[in-house]
Structure 1
Amino acid sequence: MIKCLIIDDEPLAREVLESYVADLPSLQLVCSCSDALEALEWINKKPIDLLFLDINMPKLSGINFFKSLSKKPKVIFTTAYADHAVEGFELEAVDYLLKPFSFERFVKAVNKVQLESPDTPHGEFIMLKADKKMHKVSHDQIQYFESIGDYVKAHLIDKTLIISETLRKLEDLLPASFLRVHKSFIISIDRLEYVEGNQIKLGETKIPIGQSYRDQVNKILRK
């Protein structure tokens, strides 16, 4: 469970974030604060894993507030002004959300957060939207992803999810233990049994290696 804190001086912006957080089972909202000074009291009281931090606030900006923290949690900056993006990423922000942002964009940002958690095997998971639900899927439950037209099939150990996502976006969210081997396939390297010719064996499935991916696949698998 990721313990998070919202800091935003706009009531409506806080309400939107609170509803988004409530819809993700991997997130636990510790507090929703209207300014950085109020948030500082909570940070000193309880461990916080992730901040949703507005940049333009009275008294103390989100950027200066984050710089002042001796122990910095992971941070996702939220703002209506795009010109702060560079400074936000210089502070190693997980992501930068430009208001107004959709729930899908919010989920994409949260998916980038990699935390060690006793509730998640190896502390690694991804949130996948399927059947109008957000599924928390541990990386070690995934065998491979298969692109089917406008959708992607997530082949898990015990089931298959049909998700409205692209392989390109999934590549950005997944760790190095996953490998794009074909224009239509991303595999879990941990599930790979063997490579034979231009095919990869995963359990009962054989995945083709695309010609344009062959050199990169061979390079990575020989490490």
Structure 2
Amino acid sequence: MHRYNCIIVEDEPLAAEVIIDYIEQVPFLQCKGICTDALYAMDLLQKETIDLIFLDIHLPKLKGLDFIKALRQPPQIIITSAYPEYALQGYELNVVDYLLKPIEFSRFLMAVNKLKERGSMDSDKTALFFNVSKKRVKVYIDEILFIESLKEYIRITTKDKSILTKFQLGQIEEMLAKNGFLRIHRSFLVAKNKIDAFSATDVEINGEQIPIGRSYKDAVIALLG
């Protein structure tokens, strides 16, 4: 049985104890730590492989929703809060569920079962999350056609959508280095397996003509054959 490593980010000891008790009753969950603030949680995420965060919203130093936005590749998140008015913002950030305190075990179990369902759907697909208009938008790596640099921003294009996010092309190129992406121009990164046709001056992907930079030409033609 796959076990999900989880942490609790909660500054109220009694609330944290309830979550710990519930986790111990679920065979596929394993608690790896309790954090009393989001900054401590960020540090723990650097040291441990975490699949799930049980996250309070009203935290010292950094609020829960701001914590989610600050994570480049957040794990799955279940919000635990006494404040229903933040639920919409939570779901816009793609959280698994939003649990209102006091939390009943039956409701907790429903939320973690959603996690299992989501995991089974995404098990063969790797995704990244990007900040787009105050939301965290999921993009599956194998659906990306090409990425264009626009100064401080990049435009990520898939077959179904295009998103604009503040990111450097060099950063995303490094992140996707093992996923079959090819730099063909100082402003363009393309998915090699999505190329439909190419010439000495450009590649064609899904009907789009993307230029090959002069300094990239020899390497690109050699790789594409």
The count of aligned residue pairs is: 160
Task: Provide the C-alpha distance between the structure 2 equivalents of 1:217 and 1:32, rounded to a whole number of angstroms.
Answer: 53
From the superposition, tell whether residues 102 and 217 of structure 1 become closer, same or farther in structure 2 (CA, over 3 Å).
farther
Note the 1:37-186 alignment, pairs <5 A.
45-46=27-28, 78-79=43-44, 103-108=68-73, 117-120=119-122, 122-174=124-176, 175-186=178-189
From the superposition, tell whether residues 220 and 103 of structure 1 become closer, same or farther in structure 2 (CA, over 3 Å).
farther
- State the match for 1:6 in structure 2: 7
From the superposition, tell whether residues 120 and 109 of structure 1 become closer, same or farther in structure 2 (CA, over 3 Å).
closer
- State the match for 1:71 in structure 2: none
Q: Report Cα offsets for 1:97-144 as digits up to 9, x if no partner.
A: xx9896455224659xxxx95323842222122122111122232211
> Structure 1 regions of 5+ residues with no counterpart?
19-30, 34-38, 56-75, 80-84
8 Å CA contact 1:199–1:208 kept in 2: the answer is: yes
Task: Provide the C-alpha distance between the structure 1 equivalents of 2:25 and 2:180, rounded to a whole number of angstroms.
Answer: 36
- State the match for 1:198 in structure 2: 201
8 Å CA contact 1:6–1:32 kept in 2: the answer is: no
8 Å CA contact 2:127–2:141 kept in 1: the answer is: yes
Match of 2:127, as an amino acid?
F
Q: Report Cα offsets for 1:30-87 as digits up to 9, x if no partner.
A: x966xxxxx8x679x2166xx87689xxxxxxxxxxxxxxxxxxxx9825xxxxx8xx
Task: Provide the C-alpha distance between the structure 2 equivalents of 1:52 and 1:166, rounded to a whole number of angstroms.
Answer: 33
From the superposition, tell whether residues 107 and 215 of structure 1 become closer, same or farther in structure 2 (CA, over 3 Å).
same
Q: Report Cα offsets for 1:3-52 as digits up to 9, x if no partner.
A: 440167xx54x9xxx9xxxxxxxxxxxx966xxxxx8x679x2166xx87
Q: Report Cα offsets for 1:192-215 as digits up to 9, x if no partner.
A: 012201211112111112233334
Return the TM-score normalized by structure 1: 0.53
> Structure 2 regions of 5+ residues with no counterpart?
36-40, 51-60, 77-117
Match of 1:6, as an amino acid?
I
8 Å CA contact 1:125–1:137 kept in 2: the answer is: yes
Task: Look at both structures and tell me which one has the larger radius of gyration over its CA atoms.
Answer: 2
Q: CA RMSD in A?
A: 4.3
Task: Provide the C-alpha distance between the structure 2 equivalents of 1:128 and 1:182, rounded to a whole number of angstroms.
Answer: 23
1:119 match: secondary structure:
helix
From the superposition, tell whether residues 46 and 193 of structure 1 become closer, same or farther in structure 2 (CA, over 3 Å).
same
2:136 match: secondary structure:
strand
From the superposition, tell whether residues 3 and 221 of structure 1 become closer, same or farther in structure 2 (CA, over 3 Å).
farther
Return the TM-score normalized by structure 2: 0.53
1:162 match: secondary structure:
strand
CA apart distance, 1:218: 3.8
